[in-house]
Amino acid sequence: MKIKFNKIILFALLILLSCKKNDRIETQKVVKKPNIIFLFSDDQRAGTIHVLGNKEIITPNIDKLANEGLSFVNASIMGSMSGAVCAPSRAMLMTGRSLFNIEPSGSVIDSSYITLPKTLEKAGYNTFHIGKWHNGQESFQRSFSGGSRIFFGGMHSHYNVPTYEYNVKGDYSIDNRNELSKVHSSELYADAAIKFIDNYSSEEPFYLNVSFQAPHDPREMPKKYMEMYNIEDLSLPPNFLPMHPFPNGELNIRDEWLAGYPRTPQEIRANIASYYAMITHLDEQIGRVLKSLKEKGLIENTIIIFAGDNGLAVGQHGLMGKQNLYEHSINVPLIFKGPDIPTGIKTNSSSYLFDIYPTLCDLVGISIPSTVNGKSLKPVINGKIKQRRKAQLFAYKNFQRSVRKDNWKLIKYNVKGTITTQLFNLKEDPFETNNISENKAYKEQLNDMTALMQELMIEYNDSVDLEKPGWGVSVLPAWVDQIDPKRVSYLKELAKKERAMRGFN
């Protein structure tokens, strides 16, 4: 009887152990690292998403991401030391490093810095890139283990884009270039993303980087998207000006040639319409990618990030481009959606794009490399803190500096020895139209913000010193003075064609 009883106990223990083993297997399935899709737009400023406040733009798919995720409405780029603002923006994003801790132009990434995709690859991710890469072929090859429809460059027509498939040897010579496609770049890249998702069969998680060219000019898109917008119905921005009120150091640059001087309401509305139309077309392609993810059964275990590489003026402050430090040019979209990320939340927490790197590491449970300067936004996402940074520094070349803290924004210019100062209360003046720097009532605030600017410049390794003549730095030449005159003439002709396309000479 005792033997029989012992057998019963042994049998029960075996069942219990079996259950525990199965529990471990189930637990392993649950804790499998999530996939990551990073959807990156080009020249898309904040304020171009319907559900986040712009009632004139059509963005149903990005709206859905925002409704199902968390939006950082105060996300920004740090700035640029070159006219091609998107290059350093992308280099900062990929390295998690701040502006003064990367190669200044952003055209290459130092091999001593571990890029985001490389860190994810070491943690077991398959890393795959589609679309624009503006940081050099060698940097790309060190970063990704696969790719398709790769565009090495800053800008191009959205048709017949010169792209490549991933080459193990890193040979991206013209002989290995894809056949030119008449498909619009946004559709081309979305098609490649859908193909990747549909064919993905590995048990390992993936990091899919989809870097669109839109809505960067030339503003080309299928006609039906332009027809969604009536130019006369579009609002002029409250800070519309015919011309910028003073020299900012970079008024004669390719971006600024896309509209005539003085700016007119009619031409700016036409530019806004084409800008919005490109974003709506892009939005539809994003919807197609997300639909394929859902149909594959992967959407529940995928972190989705949507962001833009920099903002754009499009008529605000008399400007067209991004070579300035106003909110329209530094503020960008940033949305996180995925497992354990709250839904339908907007946070005012200040953040930089290069905070995405440590945030993703934190969200998927891997170590953040020591070379990363950014701060993880996970505590904000989890609701543990409301504000990640007390203040932010912004820079354009060595003649524009800005600092933002709470509702206050200070911008300083040093152009040919002339110092110009702007102070704004962003709560009362979100469009930065009322410069109160010379109002005696705000003298203390001006002094505090100036001291804060100098403090942050030291913290971020900025060589500018506000106390020194010429800020203690050599003059960086204007963009137009660095470019071959033939190239300048060519780009001016392209700008003329673009203006003519919208009916302006």
**Structural domains in the chain?**
35-389 (3.40.720.10), 396-474 (3.30.1120.10)
pLDDT digits (tens, 9 = 90+) for 164-217: 999 999 999 999 999 999 999 999 999 999 999 999 999 999 999 999 999 999
pLDDT digits (tens, 9 = 90+) for 88-116: 999 999 999 999 999 999 999 999 999 99
DSSP 331: B
Q: 408-415 and 418-425 as β-strands: parallel, antiparallel, unpaired?
A: antiparallel
pLDDT value of residue 503: 87
Q: What angle do CA 330, 346, 281 make, to 5 degrees?
A: 65
- Contact in structure between 17 and 190 (CB atoms under 8 Å): no
What mean pLDDT value characterizes the chain? 93
pLDDT value of residue 501: 85
Which residue's structure tokens are 């921005």?
A: 237
Least confident of 117-126, 170-179, 410-419, 480-489: 480-489
53-69 mean pLDDT: 98
Least confident of 72-81, 369-378, 400-409, 473-482: 473-482
430-438 mean pLDDT: 98
User: For residue 404, is pLDDT > 70?
Assistant: yes
Beta-bridge partner residues of 80: 396
- 157: number of Cβ within 10 Å: 13
pLDDT value of residue 411: 98
User: For residue 20, is pLDDT > 60?
Assistant: no
User: For residue 331, is pLDDT > 80?
Assistant: yes
Q: In this prediction, what percent of the chain has a pLDDT beyond 70?
A: 94
pLDDT value of residue 284: 98
pLDDT value of residue 1: 46
User: For residue 376, is pLDDT > 80?
Assistant: yes
pLDDT value of residue 23: 47
- 445: number of Cβ within 10 Å: 16
Sorting pLDDT into bands at 50, 70 and 90, what band is 494? confident
pLDDT value of residue 31: 60
pLDDT value of residue 219: 95
Sorting pLDDT into bands at 50, 70 and 90, what band is 28? very low
Q: In this prediction, what percent of the chain has a pLDDT beyond 90?
A: 88
pLDDT value of residue 3: 47
- Of the candidates 466, 471, 431, 206, the one whose C-alpha atom is nearest the C-alpha of residue 313 is 431
- 184: number of Cβ within 10 Å: 22
What is the C-alpha to C-alpha distance for residues 350 and 241, in angstroms, rounded to an integer?
Answer: 28
User: For residue 232, is pLDDT > 50?
Assistant: yes
pLDDT digits (tens, 9 = 90+) for 452-492: 999 999 999 999 999 999 999 988 888 888 888 888 898 88
Sorting pLDDT into bands at 50, 70 and 90, what band is 342? very high
Segments of 263-407 assigned E as strands: 302-308, 334-337, 345-347, 351-352, 392-396, 400-405
Characterise 461 by phi-psi region: left (phi > 0), alpha (psi -120 to 50), beta (else). left
- Of the candidates 215, 203, 116, the one whose C-alpha atom is nearest the C-alpha of residue 158 is 215
What is the C-alpha to C-alpha distance for residues 352 and 394, in angstroms, rounded to an integer?
Answer: 10
